[in-house]
Amino acid sequence: MRALKYMGWITGCSVFTAFISIIWQAFLSLQALNKTTVLLTGLLAIESEVKRSALEPAPKIAVGYGACTDLQINATEFMETYYKTRMPSVSPDFAANEVNTEQELLQSFVYYFKNGAAAERVVGNSTLFKQLINYAKQLDKDRIHWYMGGNAPLMAVRFVMEGANVLLGAHMSKKLRPLLPKEISLAGDEIAEDDIHLILEYKAGDHWGAYKAPRANRYILHNDKNNPHLRSVEQLTDALKQYHPQLLVVSGLQMMDMFKFSPGVREARLNQVKQQLISQPRDTLQHFEFASYVELELLQQLRQLVLPYVDSLGMNEQELSNLREVQQHGSTTQATDWNPRLAHTLDQMREVFISLVEDYHSHRQADAQRRMVSRIHVHTLAYQTILTIANSKWKNTRAAAAKAALTAHRYVCKSQFVNPESVLLVLDDSFATSAQEQAPRMRMSAANPVPCWQEFIQFGPSRQRIKVEICVAPVLVCRVAKKTAGAGDNISASGLVAQL
């Protein structure tokens, strides 16, 4: 009898606890919702500061090089359908740089998948690549998606959407051309067939066998025949003589990575890029969009032939670590932390910036064509950060960061309308501006959703100082990612256009 009474009491207690915990959960999620709504309102207000008036002339922007067709599929579904039995032999701690066999494909895929790191790899073996494309086409029709791809066309479309007048350097087939908005002028020949990029998309929590993706991302495979040669460079250089844009964007050079050129050919092509860059007047700002590079030789060539001639760089956290590693140690890194601490990213940005500034100062006497980098934009899943030299030609750094953050959400959620309920905030309310001791802290609040500050950065043996402005915008991370490939292009382009 007594025992029964106890039971009743215990049940009562559990019901009560459960009730309290439901209310508490609701309270917490309401608070989180409230916080994101406040941040969202703040971001939208800052973004709207840069609406161009109808009286202003549209900015003119030129973008190079290349185009392709993207074939997007579900990564785990593809692997499960075709490689289910092969997985146990895969070692998860090693990634082949080049993919020539199915074994190397699995090795490389698993490595990036379990790290949630974006990767883009060349399939050297054309037979294998054709086989993979055929496999992909055999998946359910409504499970595969065809898009226009390539960094340059995606950025070009984004610029047009932002009201710019755009010139694109790319070769395209008759099939692809209609997918490009008519307003975009094209410098480049018609070709018979476009290169295809096979895009394996995965969501956070998707798993394949024992491996689970920590964040949404994609793994890209290609076997380009046209793009590595950057065939449209000369035509774009010619068209630029008349066009005289405010901004010239160089992207798509990663297609040269791991491609088998005859000796000296790649360098000769990159020299054409350099010629294009140095032949522009100073009032044309130049931006280089970084990418996932693996070949050290190519990175060194970029440091020699491209980086010294641009004003601005765009990249994600993986690419930032990789560039820093090349600058400091002459080596490359593979996948790094998918959600790096902000303080750490800011320090890496400073280091990359200092290295470029020092390089400029030690060579500018001998080479008057050099430009000193005055803008670096790093985009990560959780935040957007933009560093500009104070009082440089780049305007609206705060609004550009806010805009980039909103674009990131809109793109990955595939929705123009930002719904606070579809949002996950990864960033804390306050952050240290550096991992060094006693670094000042910044707060993200309703009053200040995009903190900006100025600081002096020291460089060179005589510790010269240069004043920079840094802005950080939180990304309202999409809970259910719809698409990640191409996000970087949209994000970088929307940040750039706000700063002209």
Residue 128 is a binding residue for ligand NAG (CB under 6 A): yes
Residue given tokens 């990634």 in the structure block: 95
CB 200 within 8 A of CB 78: yes
Interface positions, 394-453, toward ligand NAG (CB under 6 A): 407, 410-411
Nearer to ligand NAG, 100 or 445 (CB): 100
Q: Which alpha helices (H) appear in 251-396, and where do they start and end?
A: 265-278, 296-305, 317-329, 342-363
Distances (CA, A) of 70 to 67, 117, 146, 150, 220: 10, 19, 6, 8, 9
For residue 361, the minimal CB distance to ligand NAG (Å) is: 37
**With CB under 6 A as the contact rule, which of the stretches 120-128, 236-244, 294-302, 433-441 interacts with ligand NAG?**
120-128
- Which stretch, 58-66, 91-99, 100-108, 262-270, contacts ligand NAG (CB under 6 A)? 100-108
- Please, what is the minimum distance in Å from the beta carbon of residue 383 to ligand NAG? 18
> Nearer to ligand NAG by C-beta: 131 or 272?
131
Six token digits for residue 298: 């190519």
Binds ligand NAG by CB under 6 A, chosen from 81, 87, 102, 361: 102
Question: Count of residues for the chain?
Answer: 500
Residue 21, phi then psi, degrees to nearest 5? -70, -35
Which region, judged by CB under 6 A, interacts with ligand NAG, from 124-132, 335-343, 386-394, 466-474?
124-132
Question: Interface with ligand NAG by CB under 6 A: which range of 81-89, 169-177, 201-209, 471-479?
Answer: 201-209
Report CA-CA distances (Å) from 208 to 79, 80, 86, 437, 457: 8, 7, 12, 41, 45
| Interface positions, 152-171, toward ligand NAG (CB under 6 A) | 154, 157-158
> How far is residue 451 CA from its own chain's centroid?
21
Binding status of residue 203 toward ligand NAG by CB under 6 A: yes
Nearer to ligand NAG, 95 or 148 (CB): 148
Residue entry with tokens 């070949």: 295
Identify which of residues 157 and 342 has a Cβ nearer to ligand NAG in the complex. Answer: 157
Q: Which residues, other chains included, contact 146 with Cβ-Cβ below 8 Å and sequence gap of 6+?
A: 69, 70, 71, 72
Contact (Cβ atoms closer than 8 angstroms) between residue 269 and residue 305 = no
Q: What's the chain's Rg over C-alpha atoms?
A: 24
Q: Minimal distance in Å, beta carbon 410 to ligand NAG?
A: 4
Rule CB under 6 A: say whether 125 interacts with ligand NAG: yes
- List the one residue from 334, 385, 490, 492 that touches ligand NAG (CB under 6 A): 490
The values of phi and psi at residue 478, to 5°, are -70, 130
CB of 483 to ligand NAG, least distance (A): 9
**Closer to ligand NAG by Cβ: residue 203 or 344:** 203
Cβ neighbours around 145 below 10 Å, total: 13
> Of residues 17-76, which lie at the interface with ligand NAG (CB under 6 A)?
74, 76
The DSSP bridge partners found for residue 311 are: none
Q: What stretches of 22-142 adopt beta strand conformation (E)?
A: 60-64, 68-74, 119-122
Using CB under 6 A, pick the residue from 97, 131, 271, 275 that binds ligand NAG.
131
Residues that bind ligand NAG (CB under 6 A): 74, 76-77, 100-102, 125, 127-128, 131, 154, 157-158, 201-203, 206, 407, 410-411, 490
